[in-house]
A and B are shown apart, each in its own frame.
Chain A
């Protein structure tokens, strides 16, 4: 193999580039980015960076000199426009030939298409550029409306409260995160935000933003109107799968992360990969890193299938939530600890086996939980509930 092109220079793309070199790959290595900035990490954009605790330098995925050292040709501000067999065309007109390519184009935000949606003061949060604007707005605005109570929306709400802003969260379902979490856990998170002074409105359907050029209020379908001087919209993301003719479902890969197109792999948010009999597309940092590294190894000849369990974290106020595996809120739920104290584990059991676990405040249980989910362990629910039973020992089959 003498030439590799990686399209998309974020978590998956940069992990793949580093893993190629670490795995001994010595040929040409192109890393292609639509963005102008040196590749950076996204999770801090709704956490430390937004709060001003981390600088742009702090969140780089690699320093500028690392790219030179690793002989990575970094193409910044050069979106790939056409991907064909053995070559990719960049916006500037350059054509890069490759023997293997990795599609790591990630996802983009779903837009909320309502009247007033383009007023100034309305923000989205996906890129560093978005985060710069939002960080500045958080400095000036007094009343922030967050539309969408997903993980990122809730992190932004926490950051807004921690910056002393009046904060409103508008969620379409009966509780934030209700689509992904069991009711006990979703309620605990809602309570955490209310305790910190967030005004949470559920079953809220936003139909318009109103203002005089700048947003002044948000209007719901039921006629209620809430004043705000900045709004942040987080209503989900869509895969950037257009280069391979995708239809918004992501790019399907096999267990070696190969797409149907010869020599082209996919990793990260854009990939839909096999997991326990399903084909899943999951927007988590750790999957982007793991699949990026895995695809690099697969290009270098590793034939082990990709089978890692998904993992997600979210930081809100001083609580870190962790989510292992891929559960469904309709699975059987068994709880250890007390969700109201932000010190608990919710196990998702499917046909008796642990399919997933959502937890907060229990760092010592994290690695054991990950093992139990990896093993799809079948364990007596009473043992899972009881604080007297060590998860570390259970996870080691003791």
Chain B
């Protein structure tokens, strides 16, 4: 899997959990949304808060600082104060490990 970084054991990320990891020089948020793994930027585009300190709600990650919401699927801002979307990364689960790939958008 060229271009993919092994970041985390899948077991370490139960449903509802968030974790920020380094991959390809970026801080990436890995989220377990009801068993599906997503990867978007981990730094809130509003004031650089670590989104891993937030929570998953309705398919979004909610920033703990000012409660901006980003879609885990598309990285889009669903609710302010942030105005810029998060990047979205390819992510794969293989052999019980989570791998982060290239940026999708």
Contact = CB atoms under 8 A, between A and B. Distances in A.
A322 B64 CA distance: 10
Interface in A266-303: 285-286, 289
Main secondary structure of the interface of B (DSSP, over half): loop
B50 A286 contact: no
A173 B72 CA distance: 46
A339 B94 CA distance: 46
Contacts of A289: 80-81
B53 interface: yes
Given A285-B81, A289-B80, A313 B55 contact: no
Contacts of A286: 66-67
A320 B44 CA distance: 15
Classify chain B's interface size.
10 to 19
A364 B81 contact: no
B81 A363 contact: no
B12 interface: no
B80 to A, nearest CB: 6
A277 to B, nearest CB: 25
B90 interface: no
A364 B67 contact: no
A198 interface: no
Interface in B67-85: 67, 80-81, 83
Interface of A: 15, 41, 43, 48, 60-62, 285-286, 289, 311, 313, 315, 320, 322, 363-364, 366-367, 370
27 contacts: A15-B80, A43-B81, A60-B83, A61-B83, A62-B83, A285-B81, A286-B66, A286-B67, A289-B80, A289-B81, A311-B67, A313-B66, A315-B47, A320-B65, A363-B49, A363-B50, A363-B54, A364-B53, A364-B64, A366-B53, A366-B54, A366-B64, A366-B65, A367-B54, A367-B64, A367-B67, A370-B67
Given A61-B83, A320-B65, A367-B55, 7 more contacts: A48-B47, A286-B67, A313-B65, A315-B47, A363-B50, A363-B64, A367-B64
